[in-house]
Amino acid sequence: MPGQQDDPELQELIQKVEAMRPVTPADRERLKKTLRTIDEINSSDPNKVNIDGVPRPYRVVYSDWVLDWVNKLDPKAPDELLILAKGRSIESWKLADIKRDDYSPNAAGERQWQLDRKTWLANRLTGVMKEAGYNEQSVRFVEEVMLDRDIPDPREIRKYDLVGPLGLMNLRLLEQAMMIQTLRDADALVFMEKNFPQMFNRMTSDEVLVALKRELSKVSQKCMGILLSMKWSAVQLKLVSKAFPPPRRYASIMKEVEGMAAASTHPGDWRYRDFQYD
């Protein structure tokens, strides 16, 4: 994760989270049932894509691509992450029924329209999870991701953000940030595999670069390494390299601007880092 990989303070915690995960998370049958239900719903997708000459529902195929990459990036992926990979676009062709014209023709109307669309999708997916018997914590996290609400930004999270009452570490928050980053990486990798080659052949280099910068703006260093290892032509590789976001070394920037203490877990002014409060 960008930010996390740049912050040595988080590495130990990330390794701890990964070590705590079971090799095979419990109750895989419930997960299989949920993913199967999502596929059954999306099988009615009116949009088709040809796979080996056979038309298949687009949202089923696309979610399979994302799910495959999530499993490669995180072999111990929790159920919530796999459900999000498979179900974020569940029955989304019905969003056309939520018409923009039914809302005020201003910025407030636009925001409400977007929120109602997100809420509809979130309710559809969490409804499937509830029917499968998932607990409130899992359902709430999926809902927050779908609504883009109260979720940690993997690019900005620091060790200090994880310190809770009595100095306890909120490892669940760190795991959530890791899941968000895995989803971002999987989306970017699917785009690069399925869309980039076609764009390269029919668009100008400047247009391709703009699209790449948009799609790769939030990828991790791990994802960058995977992309660089893929088979590209010399020109394609140059475009990919130019599209990568600059390293986000937030801790280093804070250290330069405010001092060592501000870039660590110390919450106070760096000038008083040695002050004896006793």
| 4-61 confidence digits (pLDDT tens) | 445 666 777 777 777 777 666 666 889 999 999 999 999 999 999 999 899 999 999 9
pLDDT at 249 (0 to 100): 53
More confident residue, 94 or 220: 94
* Average pLDDT across the chain, whole number: 84
Does residue 252 carry a pLDDT above 50?
no
What's the mean pLDDT in 215-235? 91
Task: Spell out the residues 6+ positions from residue 47 whose beta carbon is closer than 8 angstroms to its own.
Answer: 57, 58, 59, 93
**Lowest mean per-residue pLDDT among 72-81, 154-163, 257-266:** 257-266
183 and 85 in contact (C-beta within 8 Å)? yes
Q: What confidence score (pLDDT) does residue 253 get?
A: 43
Does the pLDDT value for residue 251 go beyond 50?
no
Percentage of the chain surpassing pLDDT 90?
Answer: 61
How many CB atoms are closer than 10 A to CB 77?
24
CA distance 125 to 39: 12
